[in-house]
Structure 1
Amino acid sequence: MKLIDLLENITVENKVAPDFLNLKIKGLTDDSTLVEKGSAFIAIKGYQSDGHLFIDDAIERGAAVIFGEKPISNKLSVPYVQVPNSRQALGRLSAVYYDHPSRKKLMIGITGTNGKTTTSYMVRHILEKFGNTCALIGTIQNIINGERHKTINTTPNPLIINQVLTESTDDYVVMEASSQGLSEFRLEGIEFDACLFTNLSPEHLDYHGSLEKYFEAKKQLFHKLKKNGTALINYDDEFGKRLAEELASDGIKVKTFGQSEGADYQIKDLSSSPPAHLFIEDQSQWLKLPSPIAGYHNLYNSALSYITGRSFSIPSAAIIQTMETFPGVEGRFNIYKLENEVCVVIDYAHTAEAILNCLQTALDSTENRLIHIFGFRGNKDKEKRSEMVKISAEISDMFILTLDDLNGVSSSGMVETLEILQETYGNEKGSIIPDRTSAIEKALTMSKPGDWIVITGKGHEEYKETYRHPVTSDKEAIQYLSKQKFEV
């Protein structure tokens, strides 16, 4: 590809000599160590290092052109293209270099605070059961051409996304869109046929600064819809209703669902107890829609998945039948029934609203005690912690505060935080056991037949900290510790 072709939709802030415009570009990278002869290197100022400091290294490795957002005073041996924003340029350059692969796929993007992962797996299940192939890019893993790959970020950088879309032979691509990924232009140049909104509550405010900025970051996804694309939105959510109204005023096609008056797909009679289900109105008919994962919040995930299937012309009867066979999602309200008739739930819930939904579902499922184990991530959303403790103190019969990812905070510092939270917002139901595996062991030891133990925060994730027992996840902890007393 020639440099002049690569500059499609790129704002250039300096003069590039005409002689350079016919340069052949043989690759793109934002990592100077990956530069090969003929590559374009995009210098990005990151949080830990500045790509502009590695421009000389990139040239030595054979870079044919450099893109960056900072003015360069010294003359380089290759052309330098100054752009307003290097991250945004990386997205646009990636889309052009790979010939806009998202335009050749049926693309579905999902955003919101809670429910993105569960909804993405439900939608993929519906599409594949109806005879399609479907790639998935998200929090737990990426699934491309049926092969599973570990993922680092919920939303990868645009180079990876475009490479993956180019390699994929799948009919559909379902992608989770994080607010941070949207803010950092990781989806720049990606176009969607449908964009889904689950809900919005306070999260990542340490990054965004305010709830309003968090909402605006989420909203960016819906301006990446293709010309005939559709926004599918939870109309019962305060921010969802606002989003629907703002998008409609911008001329974007919107379909909503909810119990609220005015929703395009009305839902009613929501039953979160197994077998969970709701009724949804479709073409003047009320249909019973099963929700394969327990919980009030998962009823909304099921409804959103249903209207997504319908937006791609999948018959309602096929969707309903398919939902009955959904196997669930790793780390999302996974229930483990122990031999002593204790039920253990492992869930990724790490916001106040998610914990409320999770604990309420467990409470509705037991007539015995509810024991909750959870912690907080260091340097993350400190303002939501008190509400999480209040909710657990109100709903649980007893709760144990423990450690989650420390993210550089000392264990003693986090324990001190737990003590303050317990003293200020907890009650006599609460205790503190810093070692996460010991906290789980304590809950198992004190449990009685019919009790439910809920462990939140980590879900599918492996531990980053080292604990007393030789396990790497909440699931492993349950399996290992329960074998000392009874079999799973």
Structure 2
Amino acid sequence: MKIKELINEMEYEILAGSEETEITTLVYDSRKVEKGSVFVCISGSVRDAHEFIPDVAAKGAAAIVVEKDVTPIDGITYIKVEDSRLALACMSAAYFGHPAKKLKTIGITGTKGKTTTTYMVRSILESAGIKTGLIGTIESIVGSERIPSANTTPESYRVQELFAKMVDAGLDAVVMEVSSQALMLHRVSGFVFDIGVFTNLEPDHIGENEHKDFADYMHCKSLLFQQCRHGIFNGDSEHLQGILQGHTCTVETFGYGAENDLIAQKVELKKEHGALGVKYHVGGSMDFDVEVNVPGKFSVYNSLTAIAICHHFGVSVEEIKKAMLHVSVKGRIEIVPVTKRYTLMIDYAHNAMALESLLTTLKEYEPGRLVCLFGCGGNRAKSRRYEMGEVSSKLADLTVVTSDNPRNEEPMDIINDILVGVHKADGAYVTIPDRKEAIRYCMEHAEDGDIIVLAGKGHEDYQEIKGVKHHMDERELIADIIRENTDLKL
């Protein structure tokens, strides 16, 4: 493969060598350079890859892509670009044969709802016979293969590599979470989405190494709608006009408001035999009743988004209704069937905003008691501990404070910080540092009609202590507790 085949759709300047240079692999990690590689220098927040040019030259790199002025080393082709992250995205797309052109691509952005909505979309499309891949916070799914994720949206090279695997596996479509960081860092550049989706926007990811302010965060989210053909937007969002700024796509909206294209009407909460959900009428451009076995009015938004997307794939109303009854997302308001006496669920809420949203939603179901079990991660901002403690004490009838990922801190030090927040409100609480014993306590002391939330771990299947990740899956802990006391299933 000649280097010109990877760069023919981007702006560049040849500093040395020739675009006819033969290359073997495309690499952005200097440790993976081999003879004949083209190495793309990324200016990262921790290290600047331009520093590794002598190393990759010594390893036999045939070409190097830079965004800074450098002194060329003889025998190597140097290509200068304005933005090496954008270059990597465009080159990766070409390197893997532009796989996005062979798939229907759906990108979902927003502060909340991305993960749940991607799983809903995949569930509906798959049930309709449309083979669909997924890229997101929890995992990437390619056919029957599930690959744990490190980021919400991986680096552009990995995105294109996954797309290529999906094409090879015979998939028809892919639905992916698109973070603001991914848009800012060009991880999803180099192709055009068929459908872009905006769920909602709240202040988040603002600070050092993220977004300088809310305006920057909103701007980055809006970039998706300058690289998609059709946009589907939460028409109820107060930030809709900001997200639409500069859009080049066609526009469709959903929400509760009568001015939307797809409208949620006659919304009811559903509570029966330990299961929670919602049911509502889909009005506007469609006309049918739907039930979703995921609690909370925000699941109305998530499901309405999924319905809007799948309508563009020609999925029948019956297929949509059937799929919605069976949607479940690991660690996102995931109800664990134990007994009909009370509801036990696992959720990833791991900051005050998410916990407040979750508990407020669950209170609408008027539980006998709302019990909230959580801990906080070690080596993270102490303010999160105070805030989560106060939120739980204010909204839950009983707060069970336990361990999360203590990392290099002492669990009781973290618990004591949480209790500072707990004491700012007047909710009852207990402290049980061992997470399994804390879950056991909740189950053994459950009362009829309780809703018990195990918050913070969600999809995670480990507990990090002193730099070591120990296997710990809350679903397995619940199963162990039931095996040890079968009366808990009554």
Same fold (TM over 0.5): yes
- What is the identity, as a one-letter code, of the residue corresponding to 2:250? K
In structure 2, do the counterparts of structure 1 residues 91 and 413 end up closer, same or farther at CA, with 3 Å as the change threshold?
Answer: farther
Say yes or no: does 1:66 pair with 2:68. Answer: no
Q: Describe the shift of the 1:235–1:43 C-alpha distance in structure 2 as closer, same or farther (beyond 3 A).
A: same
> Which shifted more, 451-460 or 428-437?
428-437
* CA distance, structure 2, for counterparts of residue 87 and residue 483 of structure 1: 52
Classify the secondary structure of the residue corresponding to 2:188: coil
Aligned to 1:479: 479
- TM-superposed deviation, 1:11: 3.6
Question: For the structure 1 residues 42 and 245, does the alpha-carbon distance in structure 2 shift closer, same or farther, using more than 3 Å as the test?
Answer: closer
Please state whether the residue corresponding to 1:465 is helix, strand or coil. strand
Aligned to 1:137: 135
CA apart distance, 1:329: 1.4
**Corresponding residue of 1:266:** 263
1:302-341 matches, cutoff 5 A = 302-324=303-325, 326-338=326-338, 341=341
Cα deviation code 1:100-130 (max 9, x no counterpart): 2212211001111221111111111111222
Q: Which moved more, 1:47-56 or 1:154-163?
A: 47-56
Aligned counterparts, 1:86-105, within 5 A: 86-105=84-103
Bigger shift: residues 134-143 or 346-355: 346-355
- Please say if residues 120 and 327 of structure 2, whose CA atoms lie closer than 8 Å, have aligned partners that are also in contact: no
Question: Given residue 216 of structure 1, which amino acid in structure 2 is its aligned partner?
Answer: H
Find 2:281's aligned residue among 279, 282, 285: 279
SS in 2 for 1:109: strand
How does 1:127-206 map onto structure 2 within 5 Å? 127-168=125-166, 169-206=170-207
Letter in 1 for 2:453: V
- Distance in 2 (CA, whole Å) between partners of 1:389 and 1:279 is 37
Give per-residue Cα distances to partners, 1:23-79, cap 9 Å, x unaligned. Answer: 122220112222232211112233443322332232233211011233223634412
| Contact 1:204–1:380 (CA under 8 A) maintained in structure 2 | no
**Equivalent residue of 1:205, what SS?**
coil
Q: Secondary structure at the match of 1:483?
A: helix
How many angstroms apart in 1 are the aligned matches of 2:430 and 2:74? Answer: 62
Q: Deviations over 1:316-353 (max 9, x none)?
A: 343223323x2411112122243593431101223445
Q: Work out the number of aligned pairs and report it.
A: 475
For 1:117, the equivalent position in structure 2 comes to: 115
The letter of the residue matching 1:201 is E
Contact 1:366 1:452 in 2 (8 A): no
Q: Does the CA contact (< 8 Å) of 2:385 and 2:417 recur in 1?
A: no
Contact 2:297–2:361 (CA<8 Å) still a contact in 1? yes
Aligned AA for 1:343? Answer: T
Amino acid at match of 1:300: Y
> Which amino acid in the other structure matches residue 255 of structure 1?
E
- The C-alpha deviation readout for 1:178-197, integer Å capped at 9, x for no partner, is 22222222112132000111
Please say if residues 120 and 176 of structure 1, whose CA atoms lie closer than 8 Å, have aligned partners that are also in contact.
yes
Q: Which runs of 5+ in 2 are unaligned?
A: 272-276
What is the alpha-carbon root mean square deviation over aligned residues? 2.8
Alignment of 1:307-386 (within 5 A): 307-324=308-325, 326-338=326-338, 341-365=341-365, 367-378=367-378
Quick one: percent identity of the two aligned structures? 33
Amino acid at match of 1:99: G
Matched residue type, 1:322 = A
Could you state the TM-score of these two structures normalised by the residue count of structure 2? 0.88
Mapped contact 1:35–1:61 kept (Cα < 8 A): yes
Separation (CA, whole Å) in 2 of partners of 1:63 and 1:181: 27
Match of 2:274 in 1: none
Q: In the superposition, relative to structure 1, how do residues 412 and 71 fare at CA in structure 2: closer, same or farther (>3 Å)?
A: farther
Following superposition, the deviation at residue 288 of structure 1 comes to 0.8
Distance in 1 separating the partners of 2:269 and 2:353: 16
Q: Distance in 2 between matches of 1:179 and 1:380?
A: 22
Counterparts of residues 288-307 of structure 1 (less than 5 Å): 288-307=289-308
Q: Deviations over 1:284-319 (max 9, x none)?
A: x64212213122111111111111111233333432
Q: Helix, strand or coil: the match of 1:393?
A: helix
Contact 2:15/2:78 (8 A) holds in 1: yes
State the match for 2:245 in structure 1.
246
Q: 1:194 to 1:386 in 2, by over 3 A?
A: farther
SS of 2:463 mapped into structure 1: coil
Q: 2:422 and 2:212 mapped to 1: Cα distance? A: 26
